[in-house]
Amino acid sequence: MRAASAPGAARLSIDFSRNSAQVARRLIGVTLLIDGVGGIIVETEAYDREDPASHSFSGPTARNAVMFGPPGHAYVYLSYGIHWCLNFVCEPKGSASAVLIRAIEPMAGLAVMRRRRGVADERLLCSGPGRLCEALRITALQNGLALDRPPFELFARQGEVEIVTGPRIGITKAADKPWRYGLKGSRFLSKPFKPEA
């Protein structure tokens, strides 16, 4: 991955040559910008080909083709006929694994996001996969684009972050798998994590 462009910004330290669960964990705290609009990733979910809940479970199709391609690219799909969802494709290549970006903490372009979303509450701008795609204007146009060049920008997190895990949301298959990752205590999660036992 090439470093992000802004002067003085932390160099991107994550890569996608790992399985989706590891990438999902490492993405928490990373800053994602699209055309300069975005914020800190606070919630992700992992999917791979062995996973009955994954789009890639039944093999390659026109829709999920990007998942079977090289890592470090964006897989965007339409959910429930209404909402776009953004994923990052991971290694190992051919595993058709990806990480769903479920929520970000808005940091840049707040006014633009509010206009696109039609809501003023900061916590409702990007707290959910469909919401953040509307705020960042992600559509099928971004499907298949590389994440290491415009309009995408990724910045490594500043320090260590506390990460919580839990079952994924909105699925019926393999719903017990704890492949949801979140930034502990974040106010911008799409749903709270169950407190640790």
Which residues form the interface with DNA (CB under 7 A)?
45, 47, 53-56, 58, 61-64, 67, 75, 78-83, 85, 87, 98, 100, 117, 119, 124, 128-131, 168-173, 190
Residue ranges in the chain assigned as alpha helix (H): 20-27, 110-117, 129-136
To DNA, the closest distance from the beta carbon of 63 in angstroms equals: 4
The nearer residue to DNA, 4 or 30, going by C-beta atoms, is: 30
Distance in angstroms between the alpha carbons of the first and the last residue of the chain: 38
Q: Given the DSSP bridges, would you call strands 31-34 and 98-108 parallel, antiparallel or unpaired?
A: unpaired
CA distance 153 to 104: 14
To DNA, the closest distance from the beta carbon of 18 in angstroms equals: 17
The nearer residue to DNA, 4 or 182, going by C-beta atoms, is: 182
CA distance 82 to 101: 17
To DNA, the closest distance from the beta carbon of 115 in angstroms equals: 14
The nearer residue to DNA, 12 or 100, going by C-beta atoms, is: 100
To DNA, the closest distance from the beta carbon of 129 in angstroms equals: 5
The nearer residue to DNA, 99 or 154, going by C-beta atoms, is: 99
Question: Which neighbouring-strand residues pair with 164?
Answer: 182
For residues 8 and 126, is the Cβ–Cβ distance under 8 A? no
To DNA, the closest distance from the beta carbon of 164 in angstroms equals: 18
The nearer residue to DNA, 26 or 168, going by C-beta atoms, is: 168
Cα distances from 172 to residues 51, 58, 177, in angstroms, run 12, 16, 11
